[in-house]
Homo-oligomer: A and B are copies of this chain.
Amino acid sequence: MKIRLATDADRDAIWSIFHEVVAAGDTYALDPNISREDALAYWFAPSTHTYVAEIDRESVGEADSFPGTATPSRTANPNHVTAGTYILRPNQSGGGAHVANAGFMVSASARGQGIGRAMAEHCLSEAHRLGFRAMQFNYVISTNTVAIRLWQDLGFEIVGTLPSAFRYPDKGYVDVYVMFRSLL
């Protein structure tokens, strides 16, 4: 697996993953019908560092065996596919700019291979390198136990609970966590 800064050549692959994740409507508080243009403007916003995770083609699951999920996108290198993407940015401006925020997306057919964890570890290292003093996740849906366990394993703590702040497409209202980790 290789994790690197994204370029314009990665936009198709990123949109493919972004669309798949957001259309599901169960992990991000974003409009499931967000346009490609708005999605890429968000993922490549000013002050945002955008990364992709590439894996060898042979380690990719066949799309056919995951009905309804997208195939990881081919990259410029025909031996690699883009399996995930993440962003790293200041969570606030001015007096809050020393706290980083990050967001992660993994292609459904590439899950269970540690790509989320690898990107998170890469992200913490990059945040440290860029001089951030802490990292905050503003919106971790309480039913996303896989993500919560991963963040806790990486040193994040739940520092806040937002009651019924997320409406699941099918499960109704659930709590949302704010998670935080010092980088000092």
A residues with a Cβ closer than 8 A to B are: 22, 25-26, 28-32, 34, 91-99, 133-134, 136, 138-139, 159-169, 176, 178, 180, 182
Contact = CB atoms under 8 A, between A and B. Distances in A.
A161 to B, nearest CB: 6
A91 to B, nearest CB: 8
Copies in the complex: 2
B162 A95 contact: no
A87 to B, nearest CB: 16
A165 B165 CA distance: 22
25 contacts: A22-B94, A28-B94, A29-B93, A29-B94, A29-B96, A29-B97, A30-B92, A30-B94, A31-B93, A92-B165, A95-B167, A95-B169, A96-B165, A96-B166, A98-B167, A133-B164, A134-B165, A136-B165, A159-B160, A159-B161, A159-B162, A160-B160, A160-B162, A160-B178, A163-B180
Contacts of A22: 94
Contact of A139 (B32, B92, B133, B182): B92
A174 B176 CA distance: 24
Contacts of A167: 95-96, 98
A93 B138 contact: no
A32 B94 contact: yes
A91 B164 CA distance: 13
A38 to B, nearest CB: 10
